[in-house]
Amino acid sequence: LISPEGAATKNEPNQHIECSNSQNENRLRLLEAQESELLELKTMFQEVKVDFRSLQTQFQDDITELGHNIQGISKAALGYNQAVKENRNLYNMLQEVRGNIRVFCRIRPLMNSKSISSIEHVGNDGSIMVCDPYKPQTTRKIFQFNQIFGPTTTQDEIYRETQSLIRSVMDGYNVCILAYGQTGSGKTHTMCGPSGGLSSNDLGINYMALNDLFTISTSREDVKYDIRVQMVEIYNEQVRDLLSEDTSSTKLDIRSSSNGLFNLPDAKMCPVQSPSDVMTLMLLGEKHRASGPTAMNNRSSRSHSILTVHVNGKDISGNVSCSCLHLVDLAGSERVDRSEATGDRLKEAQHINKSLSCLGDVITALAQKNSHIPYRNSKLTQLLQSSLG
């Protein structure tokens, strides 16, 4: 007989075997589950790998296409810049064909109804016949100009003939626009407008030129411009800074630069951002300018006024251009005997006439393409050399 205790002792190994089998089955199921998950992860990894290679190929294709597009854009930009450059060169060649030196004649209206005109005939070819109205048969003379403007011509019509030159300034060319004539002939009116004011609708060449200059500089987004202004006068062959607070003691020396041109290193140079900035400086300069009464004009300008606009440009390619625009209101030319000048006024008239004569000599030499141009004969021609020659 086996006791109950002995039976329990004999069944203990079987219980251990059953527990061990159950644990093994659990481990096996866990391993199978992990293996299944690994297979899924492997499949997902393969899919991600394929997607990555596809994206990599697409990215490389996009980079290649972008490179081609950039190359095309670069070629187009280069072609555009070249076309712009050629256009500007052709434009300025056209200006040279029209004449580097152009002389216009503006006929001032008669001062009153009793005045007698000395103009006998104006031709369509730029010729004009003048004479002494009291001796018409013996004093006739014919002069030739590029163009003649009648007494009814407006300020705007005058400016249109010089407007193309402003673009040349922005392209790196030096330009000079000056008014020459007898005292009282309307030079200051043409250059500065009535009384040099800003409120008039009849503004002069100076303001319209400056307005166009800033308009062009703003429209050219590929070029950054730095614009600065100087304003001086030549009075009795002395150069004075009209933008200095103390004009009486500010006499300037003209110096020769390394390129053979003349400049005024000590003249005040004012940066400007708009036409109104320049006009404010011009009004200051006009206030400081020397003037005095003569028999020909109650307030005759006794000096040459030179407003110089310096334009420095730099495009996106790093190319730099430097140019200047001289806007000149010359002192009135007059015969000493008719002006009734004496003392200081006589001295002024002599200096004025001498410098104007030197200017005429320079322009004649340039027109005749002489090998020697007498720039050094006066301070006026020295300062204007860069834009005359």
Q: Using the structure block, give the residue that is written with the tokens 């005939």.
A: 121
Q: Closest Cα to residue 254, out of 133, 385, 360? A: 385
> Annotation-wise, does 184 bind a ligand?
yes
Neighbours of 321 (CB within 10 A): 16
Percentage helix, strand, coil for the chain under 3-state DSSP, each rounded to 5: 50, 20, 30
> Annotation-wise, does 185 bind a ligand?
yes
- Backbone φ and ψ for 380, nearest 5 degrees, come out as -60, -50
Contact 150, 107 (CB under 8 A): yes
Interior/surface letters 81-97, b for 16+ CB within 10 angstroms, e for the rest: eeeeeeebeeebeebee
> Annotation-wise, does 181 bind a ligand?
yes
> Annotation-wise, does 183 bind a ligand?
yes
Report d(CA 111, CA 104) in Å as an integer.
Answer: 21
Q: Closest Cα to residue 373, out of 362, 357, 382, 358? A: 362
Q: Closest Cα to residue 236, out of 348, 333, 334? A: 348
Where are the strands (E) in 47-188, listed by range?
Answer: 104-106, 119-122, 127-130, 141-144, 147-149, 175-179
> Annotation-wise, does 67 bind a ligand?
no
> Annotation-wise, does 54 bind a ligand?
no
Q: Which residues contact 104 (CB under 8 A, 6 or more apart)?
A: 145, 146, 147, 148, 149, 158, 161
Report d(CA 148, CA 253) in Å as an integer.
Answer: 38
Contact 106, 190 (CB under 8 A): yes
Q: Which residues contact 339 (CB under 8 A, 6 or more apart)?
A: 183, 294, 295, 296, 345, 349
The DSSP call for residue 335 is: -
Residue list for the binding site = 181-188
Residue list for the binding site for ATP = 181-188
